[in-house]
Amino acid sequence: MKKILESPLIEDLMEERHLLYLLKYVFWTEPSLGFLESLLNVKEIPEGGQIDSGLNQMIKAVKSNTDRLDEYAEDLAIEFARLFIGPKFPPAIPYSSFYLSESKTVMTNVTIEVRKRYLKAGMAVKQLYSIPDDHVGIELEFISHLTERVIELYEIGERIDASRFFEMRNSFLNDHMVLWIPAFADKVLEHSREDFYKGAALALKNLIYTAST
């Protein structure tokens, strides 16, 4: 169903924007000490669904390690590497091509098609050619970029262009991300030893589902 760009929808996008900022960072790199310290000041969220439940799980995990935050940051760095990097076959491979290609490999036509979408939307990819474009962190960056453009254009009255970027966003969510993010998130939920990443995976899975409906 095609959504109409009206104020309530823009308000939803503004809320999603903050979640995208958080989750693209969590799945792109190991959390810094400063990032974990910032979560200590976040109050638990009144739970209204699985997204809130996931975020609260992350917050509780950090607060339960307040007295050893330096060590906890190291624990999460080790877990990040184990889950997403390897050394050889990480349990939660963070590339869409692995989940969407028959060969179950990375850097396939899926990666090329994703890059084309970035270029069409005018997003410059960070670390181009050093990390495959279909990394979960870069794809979340793309959704974040499109969300920002929709909000910016809507607020200055450019409704036609805002709708164009919104359709790009919807297309990428429904035709691509929703097809692999749930499987990726389930891998994290199954294999992670840290509640921080389990909470992030739960929030990610349900954010993508909510944003695509």
- What's the confidence (pLDDT) of residue 212? 80
Domain assignment present for 200: yes
Whole-angstrom Cα distance, residue 72 to residue 20? 23
CB atoms under 10 Å from CB of 168, counted, come to 19
Whole-angstrom Cα distance, residue 186 to residue 211? 18
Whole-angstrom Cα distance, residue 17 to residue 145? 9
pLDDT interval class at 125 (50, 70, 90): confident
Whole-angstrom Cα distance, residue 136 to residue 7? 29
CB atoms under 10 Å from CB of 209, counted, come to 17
Instruction: Please tell me the total count of domains within the chain.
Output: 1
Look up the domain containing 152 and give its range.
Answer: 7-212
Coil, strand or helix: which one is 134? coil
16-39: buried (b, 16+ CB within 10 Å) or exposed (e) per residue? bbebbebbbbbbbebbeeebbeeb
Domain assignment present for 137: yes
Could you report the per-residue pLDDT of 138-163, keeping only the tens digit for each? 999 999 999 999 999 999 999 999 99
Mean pLDDT of 16-41: 95
| CB-based contacts of 63, cutoff 8 Å, min separation 6 | 39, 40
Domain assignment present for 2: no
N residues, the chain: 213
Domain assignment present for 1: no
Whole-angstrom Cα distance, residue 62 to residue 79? 14
DSSP symbol at 131: S
Domain assignment present for 136: yes
1 pLDDT more than 50: no
Domain assignment present for 184: yes
- Residue 115 belongs to domain with CATH number: 1.10.3480.10
Whole-angstrom Cα distance, residue 102 to residue 174? 20
Asked if 201 and 192 count as a contact pair (C-beta separation under 8 A), the reply is yes
